[in-house]
Amino acid sequence: MLDIRGLHKVYEGSGRRVEAVRDLTFTVSAGELVCLVGPSGCGKTTLLKCMGGLLTPTAGEVLLSGKPVSGPPPGMAFVFQEYGRSLFPWMRVGQNVELPLKQKNLTKARRKELVADALESVGLADAAGAYPWQLSGGMQQRVAIARALAYEPQVLLMDEPFAAVDAQTRADLEDLVRGLWRERGITILFVTHDIDEAVYLGERVIVLSASPTVVQEQLKVDLPDERDQLHTRVAPRFAELRTHVYEQIQAAKRGIPQDAVTKSNTPPLH
Partner 1 sequence: MRGSNTALGAAGLAVFLALGEAVPRLGLVKEAYFPPTSRIASALWDEVTTDGFWSALGDTLTGWAVGLAIAVCAGVVVGVTVSIVPYLRETTASTIEFLRPIPSVALIPLAVLLYGAELKSVLILVVYASFWQVLVQTLYGVQDVDPVAEETARSYGLGTWARVRHVLWPTALPYVMTGVRLAAAVALILAITAELIIGAPGLGQEIAVAQTSQAVPEMYALIVVTGVLGLLINVGARTVERRALAWHQSVRGEVAV
- For the bound state, the minimum distance from the C-beta of residue 21 to partner 1, rounded and expressed in Å, comes to 18
Rounded CA gap, 111 and 151, in Å?
A: 10
Which listed residue (8, 106, 112, 131) binds partner 1 by CB under 8 A? 131
CB burial of 131-167 (b: ≥16 within 10 Å; e: otherwise) equals bbeebeebbbbbbbbbbbbbbbbbbbbbbbbbebbee
The residue among 147 and 242 lying less far from partner 1, judged by its C-beta, is 147
**Residue 40: half-sphere exposure toward Cβ, Cα within 13 Å:** 2
Which listed residue (133, 224, 234, 260) binds partner 1 by CB under 8 A? 133
- For the bound state, the minimum distance from the C-beta of residue 148 to partner 1, rounded and expressed in Å, comes to 9
- For the bound state, the minimum distance from the C-beta of residue 103 to partner 1, rounded and expressed in Å, comes to 5
Window 85 to 124, contacts with partner 1 (CB under 8 A): 85-86, 88-91, 99-100, 102-103
- For the bound state, the minimum distance from the C-beta of residue 150 to partner 1, rounded and expressed in Å, comes to 10
Which listed residue (34, 37, 135, 176) binds partner 1 by CB under 8 A? 135
The contact mask relative to partner 1 for 53-92 (x = CB under 8 A, - = no) is xx-----------------x-x-xxx-x-x--xx-xxxx-
The residue among 36 and 87 lying less far from partner 1, judged by its C-beta, is 87
- For the bound state, the minimum distance from the C-beta of residue 89 to partner 1, rounded and expressed in Å, comes to 5
Q: Which stretch binds partner 1 (CB under 8 A): 119-127, 133-141, 190-198, 228-236?
A: 133-141
- For the bound state, the minimum distance from the C-beta of residue 226 to partner 1, rounded and expressed in Å, comes to 32
Q: Give the Cβ contact number of residue 71 at 10 Å.
A: 9
The residue among 19 and 82 lying less far from partner 1, judged by its C-beta, is 82
Asked if 151 interacts with partner 1 (CB under 8 A), we say yes
Q: Which stretch binds partner 1 (CB under 8 A): 22-30, 128-136, 207-215, 255-263?
A: 128-136
Q: Which stretch binds partner 1 (CB under 8 A): 13-21, 24-32, 48-56, 57-65?
A: 48-56
Among 81, 93, 84, 154, which residue's Cα sits nearest to residue 118?
93
Judged by CB under 8 A, the number of residues near partner 1 is 28
Interacting residues with partner 1 (CB under 8 A): 49, 52-54, 72, 74, 76-78, 80, 82, 85-86, 88-91, 99-100, 102-103, 131, 133-136, 147, 151
